[in-house]
Chain A
Amino acid sequence: MSLANLRRLEAEAIHVLREVVATFSNPVVLYSIGKDSSVLLHLAMKAFFPAKPPFPFLHVDTTWKFREMIAFRDRMARELGFNLLVHTNQDGVDQGIGPFTHGSNLHTHVMKTMALRQALETYGFDAALAGARRDEEKSRAKERMFSIRNAQHGWDPKRQRPEMWKTYNTRVGAGETMRVFPLSNWTEFDIWQYILQENIPIVPLYFAARRPVVRRDGMLIMVDDERMPIEPGEEVMDRMVRFRTLGCYPLTGAIDSEAATVPDILREMLTVRTSERLSRLIDTDEAGAMEKKKREGYF
């Protein structure tokens, strides 16, 4: 007897979510507002039914997210009644760190990685759940479901614990924390098929609409607010675009698309020939970029 694909993936993720609650004293979900986080949120609602998820959802706000993401985040917290925590690296804000002025690398390090470390330490979380998938990127393909981090939140890929069956070693030492990835075995296609099947709300930016964009370094960057400088020679175009992944708006490329519904997106995916992380500037700012960021504590 084998379950259909999505049913199997769902059960696996629910099992991992419950395992975290059973074995850690202070877990948190890193809620990034994107499609994977939306699926993770939905699975958390399922895993503990009839109770609510017994952990908070933490959003690390870099202050450079798309405005629609923030509106969506607040609406979901209100409608589903989950415990939302928002953390911003105030030091970074005071120093005026931003992607346009400081570049993607420094911005991501200060406003995302450092901010995350601050939040984990402030609240004393011992396990952080996130929606990362192995098929996103090849260093992520090497991650465990339960991935230990040292007291500096660093990932040491050479010292990963072996992880057999579903028998997870959930023990951590003083100062160490665990990152947990219940969606490890999901592909991008699985995510969309599940969103369709379960009718999961997602940020409207995933759907094609006419949006103001500028072509920059080969990517279509949306002009989401007045902080975006328009360089000489650049032209703000009104184009039918959508986003395959969501992050900080200056670092996230849109794609030309007519896909305005989830079925449209699935149809589009059946013919697509590039990976979703292609539209994330931070993955390509240097060779081995993702692994380096993960070693520093990026999730």
Chain B
Amino acid sequence: MSYLQSVPPHDLAAHLADHDGKSVLRFITCGSVDDGKSTLIGRLLVDAKLVFEDQLTNLGRVGSSGAVNGGEIDLALLLDGLEAEREQGITIDVAYRYFATSKRKFIVADTPGHEEYTRNMVTGASTADLAVILIDSRQGILQQTRRHSYIASLLGIRHVVLAVNKIDLVEFRQSVFDEIARDYKAFAKKLGFASIQPIPIAARFGDNVISASPNTPWYKGPALLEYLETVQLDPPATERPFRFPVQLVMRPNANFRGYAGQIASGSVSVGDPVVIAKSGQRSSVKAIVTFDGNLTTAAEGEAVTLVLADEVDASRGNMLVAPAARPFVADQFQAHVIWFDANPMLPGRSYILRTETDSVSATVTALKHQVNINSFAREAAKSLQMNEVGVCNISTQAPIVFDAYKESRATGNFVFVDRVTNATVGAGMIDFPLRRADNVHWQATDVNKGARSAMKSQRPAVLWFTGLSGSGKSTIANALDRLLHARGKHTYMLDGDNVRHGLNRDLGFTEADRVENIRRVAEVAKLMADAGLIVLVSFISPFRGERRMARELMEEGEFIEIFVDTPLEECARRDPKGLYEKALAGKIANFTGVSSPYEAPESPELHLKTVEEDPVALALKIEAFLDRHREEK
């Protein structure tokens, strides 16, 4: 809501123009649990008369669980909009509030303090200019203070208000305030904030929230609202280079082809030369089209449609950029990653990497180190757990266009999406491209896959046998291999145990190693298919994500997933290698089906039940499938 006027302004148009032109400050409140984040925002809104009357009276009716603080209203309830939040008296998810004073407009994101909900704090921080970091005067700097300060700086927040709250509970003592401010500044030195403003506050009673408090005569600085109204944000940098991520290609008819998007940085005018980032093709801007008429120039933040002078190839995910200052185009880069998911981030596992408009398969090729939130020390790690931050080398299946995050938030960020659950599992801030990507190019060969498979009179295929240990994968694959060989087909069988004797001898059976095991085998199978072979891969391959990764590596229709379905009890009964006996006795860690999960295929090309038919009959079934499959293509 807007600030209230006692008398409606006579000149409405002038008032509206003034209101529309006010600068906007986006800020978050963060800090540890119970430091009073929601209460502070509630107090700010109430004292500045920015809350509707019915919303205030509503607080009374909601309060079944501790809504009232000894007769006064619990201001946090203005913000904690979820039932679970009110029940538990905590903030779970970020709440956005909008308000304006005579000087500025504000968008505040009230973010949760619990470590468990770090992802929601990151959500609020990603678009903020300033962070109000709360500290309980009695507690001083806590781990969450450090975590949130680090994340704020990582996400590009440059300005901090250190709200030293509950100062009333330490008798408004200056010494407490000074000590906390000194500690914080010493700690935050490494974080590179442009400004840190400490303010002693009692959010519950309003001391130094909207006006100077008589209880802290020793404090000569601004009250919180005054500071927020006047803090100088970074002055607009010298013109930033033009970046226009292509969101949508508009082709309403044969005569019109426009690129729709929102200008991420810089500006563009009709006649300006532009480059299509991924191809390096050049063109120039012929028209800037909007519903309200064509423009001659458009600037950062505007959503427009650009028409180019030439026919070029630019689709969603590409970027139109200034020829003189180009972004990076690479498929390998280093980034800081914050992990959100309960399943840890594993190097080698394939994720979907999403930038503002692009989406590609990506794997973390190396987790260089994890960052210790308390000391900022770099620590070795094999995986990233939930709420951890790491520095990673990332490899994408196709090149993406980006800038360094510290140069440009809009074009330097990405998120990781889980391939199976579609959950947003991580956030990334790109540091720089890796040189390797520039220097290693795919070598095109004259004798190609088509020529090689034609000589063998066969269509290459990757037959991927998945199932529990002892389910009969290798037995069936072996039978099929003999059938195909007898028919003059060129085949090769990759067996899990055999590959672990050589190529993958350095890998164990942890989740991370299993992911890498499958990645390598999938890459080898791809090379063999490229050589024109029919490849039989017999691996437990317990995770859906990796099997999907393998499928996507191959050409359309080339990957045939065969689920060798044998109940666990039956596998344990057969126990050809005596492994189940050991596993059930607890002598083998991470044994699939016993102490490590097996994710059954949801829609395999073939589903074989081994308790009903013998291996040769099943191999014949696959052969028949292959013949049919061939005819269809």
Q: Is the CB of A185 within 8 A of B122?
A: no
Interface stretch, picked from A13-21, A95-103, A121-129, is A13-21
The reply to whether the CB of B143 lies closer than 8 angstroms to some CB of chain A is no
A42 CA to B15 CA, complexed, in Å: 24
Instruction: Report B-chain residues with C-beta under 8 Å of the C-beta of A71.
Output: none
The reply to whether the CB of A238 lies closer than 8 angstroms to some CB of chain B is no
A5 CA to B98 CA, complexed, in Å: 12
Q: Is the CB of A49 within 8 A of B424?
A: no
Interface stretch, picked from B223-231, B410-418, B551-559, is B410-418
Interface stretch, picked from B5-13, B205-213, B214-222, is B5-13
Contact with A along B52-68 (1 / 0, CB 8 A): 11110000011010000
A157 CA to B84 CA, complexed, in Å: 9
Instruction: Report B-chain residues with C-beta under 8 Å of the C-beta of A10.
Output: 303
Instruction: Report B-chain residues with C-beta under 8 Å of the C-beta of A167.
Output: 354-356, 413-415
A243–chain B nearest beta-carbon distance, Å: 16
Q: Is the CB of B413 within 8 A of A169?
A: no
Q: Is the CB of B64 within 8 A of A287?
A: yes
B545–chain A nearest beta-carbon distance, Å: 14
Instruction: Report B-chain residues with C-beta under 8 Å of the C-beta of A188.
Output: 1
Interface stretch, picked from B75-83, B440-448, B622-630, is B75-83
Instruction: Report A-chain residues with C-beta under 8 Å of the C-beta of B300.
Output: 1, 3
Instruction: Report B-chain residues with C-beta under 8 Å of the C-beta of A3.
Output: 299-302
Contact with B along A1-40 (1 / 0, CB 8 A): 1111111101110110011011000000000000000000
Residue ID in chain B nearest A286 by CB atoms: B61
Contact with A along B350-364 (1 / 0, CB 8 A): 001011110000000
Contact with A along B149-186 (1 / 0, CB 8 A): 00000000000000000000000000000000000000
Partner of A2, one of B2, B120, B301: B301
The reply to whether the CB of B21 lies closer than 8 angstroms to some CB of chain A is yes
Instruction: Report A-chain residues with C-beta under 8 Å of the C-beta of B261.
Output: 15, 18
Interface stretch, picked from B245-253, B453-461, B534-542, B581-589, is B245-253
Q: Which of A242-299 contact B (CB under 8 A)?
A: 263, 266-275, 278, 287-288, 291-292
The reply to whether the CB of A75 lies closer than 8 angstroms to some CB of chain B is no
Q: Is the CB of A158 within 8 A of B427?
A: no
The reply to whether the CB of B376 lies closer than 8 angstroms to some CB of chain A is no
Q: Is the CB of B289 within 8 A of A50?
A: yes
Contact with A along B107-151 (1 / 0, CB 8 A): 100000000000110110011000000000000000000000000
The reply to whether the CB of B382 lies closer than 8 angstroms to some CB of chain A is no
A248–chain B nearest beta-carbon distance, Å: 20
Q: Is the CB of B256 within 8 A of A11?
A: no
Contact with B along A39-57 (1 / 0, CB 8 A): 0000001111111100000
A287 CA to B80 CA, complexed, in Å: 13
The reply to whether the CB of A229 lies closer than 8 angstroms to some CB of chain B is no
B552–chain A nearest beta-carbon distance, Å: 15
Instruction: Report B-chain residues with C-beta under 8 Å of the C-beta of A187.
Output: 1-2, 98
Q: Which of B81-112 contact A (CB under 8 A)?
A: 81-84, 86, 92-98, 105, 107
Instruction: Report B-chain residues with C-beta under 8 Å of the C-beta of A165.
Output: 126-127, 356, 409-410, 413
A52–chain B nearest beta-carbon distance, Å: 8
Q: Is the CB of A273 within 8 A of B4?
A: yes
Q: Is the CB of B252 within 8 A of A50?
A: yes
The reply to whether the CB of A233 lies closer than 8 angstroms to some CB of chain B is no
Partner of A273, one of B8, B9, B53, B84: B53
Q: Is the CB of A2 within 8 A of B24?
A: yes
Q: Is the CB of B262 within 8 A of A15?
A: yes
Interface stretch, picked from A60-68, A78-86, A137-145, A201-209, is A137-145
Instruction: Report B-chain residues with C-beta under 8 Å of the C-beta of A269.
Output: 2
A9–chain B nearest beta-carbon distance, Å: 10
B283–chain A nearest beta-carbon distance, Å: 20
Instruction: Report B-chain residues with C-beta under 8 Å of the C-beta of A166.
Output: 262, 356, 410
Partner of B424, one of A11, A169, A266: A169
Q: Which of B236-251 contact A (CB under 8 A)?
A: 236, 247-248, 250
A144 CA to B127 CA, complexed, in Å: 13
Q: Is the CB of B5 within 8 A of A270?
A: yes
* Interface residue tally for chain B (C-beta within 8 Å): 85
A48 CA to B422 CA, complexed, in Å: 28
Q: Is the CB of A15 within 8 A of B247?
A: yes
Q: Is the CB of A267 within 8 A of B424?
A: no
Q: Is the CB of A138 within 8 A of B20?
A: no
Classify the interface of chain B: helix, strand, loop or mixed: mixed
Contact with B along A111-152 (1 / 0, CB 8 A): 000000000000000000000001101111110100000000
A278 CA to B4 CA, complexed, in Å: 18
Q: Is the CB of A288 within 8 A of B83?
A: yes
Residue ID in chain B nearest A269 by CB atoms: B2
Instruction: Report A-chain residues with C-beta under 8 Å of the C-beta of B302.
Output: 3, 7, 11
A158 CA to B23 CA, complexed, in Å: 33
Q: Is the CB of A161 within 8 A of B423?
A: yes
Q: Is the CB of B427 within 8 A of A14?
A: no
The reply to whether the CB of B316 lies closer than 8 angstroms to some CB of chain A is yes
The reply to whether the CB of B254 lies closer than 8 angstroms to some CB of chain A is no
On whether A134 and B98 interact (CB within 8 A), knowing A167-B354, A275-B52, the answer reads yes
Contact with B along A185-202 (1 / 0, CB 8 A): 101110001001000000
A37 CA to B357 CA, complexed, in Å: 26
A257–chain B nearest beta-carbon distance, Å: 13
The reply to whether the CB of B305 lies closer than 8 angstroms to some CB of chain A is yes
Instruction: Report A-chain residues with C-beta under 8 Å of the C-beta of B301.
Output: 1-3, 7-8, 11
Instruction: Report B-chain residues with C-beta under 8 Å of the C-beta of A274.
Output: 52-54
A158 CA to B236 CA, complexed, in Å: 38
On whether A162 and B98 interact (CB within 8 A), knowing A3-B301, A5-B22, the answer reads no
Instruction: Report A-chain residues with C-beta under 8 Å of the C-beta of B93.
Output: 142, 157-158, 160
The reply to whether the CB of A232 lies closer than 8 angstroms to some CB of chain B is no
The reply to whether the CB of A230 lies closer than 8 angstroms to some CB of chain B is no
The reply to whether the CB of B498 lies closer than 8 angstroms to some CB of chain A is no
Residue ID in chain A nearest B426 by CB atoms: A162
A18–chain B nearest beta-carbon distance, Å: 5
Partner of B289, one of A19, A49, A184, A273: A49
Instruction: Report A-chain residues with C-beta under 8 Å of the C-beta of B449.
Output: none
Instruction: Report B-chain residues with C-beta under 8 Å of the C-beta of A234.
Output: none
Instruction: Report A-chain residues with C-beta under 8 Å of the C-beta of B409.
Output: 165
A18 CA to B107 CA, complexed, in Å: 24
B566–chain A nearest beta-carbon distance, Å: 27
The reply to whether the CB of B19 lies closer than 8 angstroms to some CB of chain A is yes
Residue ID in chain A nearest B260 by CB atoms: A18
A184 CA to B98 CA, complexed, in Å: 11
Q: Is the CB of A275 within 8 A of B20?
A: no
Residues of B within 8 A of A (CB): 1-2, 4-6, 8-9, 12, 15-16, 19-24, 52-55, 61-62, 64, 78-84, 86, 92-98, 105, 107, 119-120, 122-123, 126-127, 236, 247-248, 250, 252, 256, 258, 260-262, 267, 289-292, 299-303, 305, 316, 340, 352, 354-357, 409-410, 413-415, 417, 421-424, 427
**CB<8 Å pairs between A and B, sample of 8:** A1-B301, A47-B260, A138-B55, A141-B79, A141-B95, A165-B126, A184-B96, A275-B54
3 closest A-B pairs by CB: A138-B81, A51-B252, A164-B126
Given contact pairs A7-B301, A142-B82, A270-B5, enumerate 19 new A-B contacts (beta carbons under 8 Å): A1-B301, A3-B300, A8-B24, A11-B302, A11-B303, A46-B291, A48-B252, A51-B252, A141-B96, A157-B84, A157-B92, A162-B122, A164-B413, A166-B356, A168-B354, A169-B415, A171-B417, A176-B422, A188-B1
